């Protein structure tokens, strides 16, 4: 019997795959500087697309006018505040680093150690023995850590410059996506259908829902609480309000809330004798903390009910991997992956729950 099947040309297949891999890597290498900016713009556009369509209906159906208004809103509500925040952060961190490295900060007395039962007097005596040895010995031990901290802040200056570059790219790509959003979305869905048929199209839709959920449920809520909390800190006269606002933004992003920063500020105001402003900040902090309970239910109904560990890992991992822009991209990447994984797992029914699961497993092993 003659085998009419053609033999596979293995070298040809291997060379074809190698050529395609080289082309893909080369293309990614070329567009690598723009990937983060485009991803950020995609997140912004997907989250605000319903607003664009509403503006377009109000502006006589003119897409150009709607895109212009959206770009002005992005500049006024996002780019300018972020630029001012970064500039104030750099200006505020400089004096702190100089005060630490120059030795201008005197060690505290820590008189409150006396109030600790049993060991308070010994701790106080030990601390002052270190002070009596001279500040040079203490600073000699702390200098490596101070130097490392200074080096870290210098490194962050490069991240801040890169962050501003990504802001500019985000504006450019956002304008393009607003202008041709339908065509881009259709092209992505067409590619997904080519890869995995209807399941690929469903995966793209799920990814869009996850992006909008994170943008609205995590980032927007955190920005609102951080900005309002920062305004309260600035009005109350708390020093380094900008630095504390940045810290508050991070605590809100990881779902710890603004009170982690606001409560110590309130205690400091009362401790320093500024009771009226401490009371004002206390009331304002209650309002800012309650916003989460007001906004969160609405956003949960829009699909923002994501695991806390996922958001925390996305914020911290994104910050380490991508710098400041990772605060926004990290949770989005993990949320999209989580939604796709969850949808894939839920395609099959769950196994029946039994009290003797280990026995069932052993019975299956014995039958096999």
Q: What is the pLDDT of residues 280-304, one digit of tens each?
A: 899 999 988 888 777 766 665 555 5
- For the record, the structure tokens of 264 come out as 């110590």
- Per-residue model confidence (pLDDT) at position 175: 93
pLDDT, position 201? 83
Confirm if 261 and 238 have CB atoms less than 8 A apart. no
pLDDT reported for residue 9:
75
**Among the ranges given (97-111, 114-128, 300-314), the one the predictor scored with the smallest mean pLDDT:** 97-111
Q: Torsion over CA of 91, 96, 99 and 105, rounded to 10 degrees? A: 150
Which band of pLDDT confidence, cut at 50, 70 and 90, is reported for residue 312?
A: confident
Q: What is the pLDDT at residue 179?
A: 93
Greatest mean pLDDT range, 117-121, 277-281, 292-296: 277-281
- Backbone Cα Rg of the chain: 28
Using one digit for the tens of pLDDT, what is the confidence trace for 27-64? Answer: 999 998 898 888 888 888 988 898 899 999 999 889 99
Answer yes or no: is pLDDT of 147 > 60: no
Is the confidence at residue 311, as pLDDT, over 80? no
Q: What is the mean pLDDT of the chain?
A: 76
Average pLDDT over residues 3-27: 82
Copy the structure tokens of residue 365: 């092993």
Residue 204 or residue 250, greater confidence: 204
Confidence band for 124, pLDDT divided at 50, 70 and 90:
confident
* Token pair listed for 135: 């500040």
Q: Is 0.75 topped by the overall pTM?
A: no
Report the distance separating Cα 293 and Cα 157, nearest Å: 36
pLDDT at 139: 53
Cα 38 to Cα 188: distance, rounded to the nearest angstrom: 14
pLDDT of residue 108: 60
Identify the CA nearest to 164 among candidates 226, 225, 242, 86: 86
CA distance 169 to 325: 12
Q: How confident is the model at residue 204 (pLDDT cuts 50, 70, 90)?
A: confident
**pLDDT, average across residues 329-340:** 79
Is pLDDT at 92 greater than 80 in this prediction? no
């Amino acid at each position: 019997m003659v085998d009419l099947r053609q033999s596979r040309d293995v070298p040809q297949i291997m060379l074809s795959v190698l050529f395609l891999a080289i082309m893909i890597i080369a293309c990614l290498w070329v567009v690598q500087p723009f990937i983060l900016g485009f991803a950020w713009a995609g997140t912004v556009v997907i989250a605000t697309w319903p607003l664009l369509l509403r503006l377009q209906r109000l502006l006589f159906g003119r897409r150009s006018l709607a895109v212009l208004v959206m770009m002005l809103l992005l500049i006024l509500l996002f780019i300018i505040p972020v630029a001012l925040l970064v500039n104030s952060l750099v200006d505020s961190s400089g004096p702190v680093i100089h005060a630490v490295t120059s030795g201008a900060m005197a060690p505290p007395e820590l008189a409150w150690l006396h109030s600790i039962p049993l060991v308070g007097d010994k701790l106080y005596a030990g601390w002052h023995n270190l002070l009596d040895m001279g500040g040079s010995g203490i600073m000699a031990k702390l200098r490596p850590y101070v130097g490392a901290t200074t080096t870290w802040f210098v490194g962050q200056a490069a991240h801040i410059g890169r962050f501003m570059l990504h802001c500019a790219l985000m504006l450019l790509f956002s304008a393009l996506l607003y202008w041709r959003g339908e065509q881009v979305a259709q092209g992505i869905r067409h590619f997904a259908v080519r890869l995995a048929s209807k399941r690929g199209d469903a995966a793209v839709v799920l990814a869009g829902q996850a992006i909008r959920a994170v943008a609205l449920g995590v980032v927007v809520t955190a920005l609102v609480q951080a900005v309002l909390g920062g305004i309260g800190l600035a009005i109350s006269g708390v020093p380094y309000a900008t630095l504390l606002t940045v810290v508050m933004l991070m605590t809100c992003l990881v779902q710890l809330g603004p009170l982690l920063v606001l409560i110590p500020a309130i205690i400091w105001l009362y401790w320093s004798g500024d009771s009226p402003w401490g009371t004002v900040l206390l009331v304002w902090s209650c309002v800012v903390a309650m916003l989460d309970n007001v906004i969160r239910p609405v956003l949960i109904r829009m699909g923002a009910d994501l695991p806390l560990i996922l958001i925390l890992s996305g914020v911290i991992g994104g910050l380490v991997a991508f710098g400041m822009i990772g605060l926004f991209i990290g949770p989005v990447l993990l949320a999209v992956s989580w939604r796709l994984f969850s949808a894939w797992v839920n395609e099959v029914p769950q196994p029946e729950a039994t009290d003797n699961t280990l026995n069932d497993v052993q019975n299956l092993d014995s039958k096999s």
